[in-house]
Structure 1
Amino acid sequence: MYTLRMTAFALLGCLSLSGCGNSTPSSSSDPAEEPTTFIGKAVKEATDGAKEELATKNLDLDVTGQPGAEITPAGDFLIDGKPVTLNTEQKALMLEYRGHLAKIADAGIGVGIEGADLAGKAMREAIRGVFTGETDQIDKKIEAEAEGVRQSAQELCTLLPAMKITQDKLAAMLPEFKPYATMDDGDVKDCMTDNDSHYDAGKEIGSQIGQAIKGDASGHGDTMNAAEEAEAASTKQ
C-alpha cells in the first residue's frame, strides 16, 4: 500500500521522486494562490525546482523486494535500467499513469506550500493578537485559514481513484508492471481518513497555541496597560 501524506515533501518521498513528469503538469502560478508570508514564500521557492522536474525527469517506482523501476517522460518503462518492450496501448497507459502520479505530486506540493503559509499566518496573527489584545480571535482566524488547506488536501485525495483505475488496467495488460501496482482501495480510503485526522490534530494544536498566547497576554496586562497610558499621555502633550 502507498502511504500518502498531505504535505509536499512527504508525498514526494512516498512516490520516490528523483524527478517525475507530465508533459503538462498543473500550475500554481495564479497570483491569488501565491503565498503571502515569509515561510510560505520560502517553501514555494524551495519546491519550484521540484515542480520543474515533474516534466523532465524519470519517475522512480520503488517497491520492497523488487528491482528499481522508472517511467520516462516519453512513457518508456525501465526495470533495473533496462527498457521493457511496450506496444502502443501499453505505452499510452504508461504515460497516463505517469501523468496521474505527476498530478498528485504537483498537488501535494501545492498543499505543502499552503500549509507552510498557514504556519506563517498563525505566527503573524499570534504576535498581532498579543499587541492588540485581540487574542480571542486568533484561533478563529487560523481555523478559517486551515479549512482552505483541508479542502485542497481533500481535492488531492479525489485524484486517487482515477490513478488506481489506470494502474489496474496497466497491471492486467503488462505483467512486468504488476509488482509495482501496489495501490489498493484501502489507500484511497486512508487518504481521506488521514486528512481528517491531521486536520483535527492541527485544530487542537492551534487551539492550544491560542490559549497559551492568551495566557501570556493576560500575564503581561500591566505592561500593556502601562504602554497604553504612556501613549495616551504623549498624545496630550
Structure 2
Amino acid sequence: MRKNALLVRSASIAAALLLAGCQPPQDKQDNAPTGIAAEAMGEVAKGLGEASQEMEKAREEIATARERLARENLSLNRNENESLPKAEITPTGDLLIEGKAVATTPEQKALVLAYRGELLGVVGDGMAIGMEGARVGIDAAASALKGVLAGQSGDEIGQQVGEQAKAKIKPMVAQLCTRLPGLLNAQQALAAALPEFKPYAGMDQSDVDDCGDANGDGNWSF
C-alpha cells in the first residue's frame, strides 16, 4: 500500500505551506504570492495533484484488500495476545490453532462465523476511516492553500480545516463504535462456547465505552 508515499507527499505539502506562510505579507490588493512564496505555492499545487493520484491508487488497493479479507483466514494474534499460539478463523467457520482445526459442533461453528462477520465489519470500517483520514489531509492542504491565497490568518485556516475534518471523520468513527457492542457480544458468546478461543478474547466493555470518547467527554479534537 502507498501509505508511506502519501505521508511523504503530505509532509512536503505542509512544509511548502509553512514556507509560504512565513513570507512577508503581500499588498492587500494583490494576494498572489511572489518570489519564494510563489514557488512554494506552486509546489503545493503540484503536490496536491500527485497526492490525489496516489489516493486513487490507494483506494483501489483498499478495495482489493477488503475483498481478500473476505476470502482469507483472519488472524486472532494481535496486541495483548500476539504471543499466544497462532490462531486463525477461516471463511468457512473453522478455528485453527497452529494450523490445526479445532473440533466444533454446528452450533459452535455458527458462533465462529458470527464473530468473524462482526470482526470483518469493524476492520472494514477501520480501513475506511484510515482512507478518509488521508483524504482529509489532502483536502486540508487544499483549504490551507486557498486560505493563504485569500489572506486568511493561520487561526482561521486551522479552524476551518478542523471543522472539515470533524464533519467527515467523526460520523465514520461513530459508525465503527456502534459495531463494537455486537463484536463484544459475539466474542463473549464464542468464548463461552469454545474454550480454545477464550485466550484470544481480549476485548472487554471498556473498549466499547472508550470508543469515540477521545477526551473522556465525547468531544473529539481534530
TM-score category by the smaller chain?
A: 0.5 to 0.7
Partner residue of 2:139 out of 118, 121, 127? 121
Counterpart Cα distance in 1 of 2:136 and 2:219: 14
Q: What is the CA distance between 1:132 and its match in structure 2?
A: 2.3
Q: Does 1:143 align with 2:162?
A: yes
Counterpart Cα distance in 1 of 2:194 and 2:209: 26
Q: TM-score, normalised by structure 1?
A: 0.64
Does the 8 A contact of 1:126 with 1:138 survive in 2?
yes
Higher mean C-alpha displacement, 83-92 vs 59-68? 59-68
What amino acid maps onto 2:86 in structure 1?
G
The aligned length equals: 167
Other-structure match for 1:6: none
Partner residue of 1:49 out of 64, 75, 79? 64
Other-structure match for 1:60: 75
Q: Does 1:162 align with 2:182?
A: yes
Does the 8 A contact of 1:38 with 1:120 survive in 2?
no
Q: What is the CA distance between 1:48 and its match in structure 2?
A: 2.4
- SS of 1:159's equivalent in the other structure is helix
Unaligned runs of 5+ in 2: 4-50
Q: What is the CA distance between 1:80 and its match in structure 2?
A: 0.5
Other-structure match for 2:198: 178
Counterpart Cα distance in 1 of 2:141 and 2:194: 51
- SS of 1:194's equivalent in the other structure is coil
- SS of 1:78's equivalent in the other structure is strand
Higher mean C-alpha displacement, 61-70 vs 176-185? 61-70
Map 1:87-98 to 2 at 5 A. Answer: 87-98=105-116
- SS of 1:116's equivalent in the other structure is helix
Root-mean-square deviation (Å): 2.4
Unaligned runs of 5+ in 1: 1-8, 10-35, 203-237
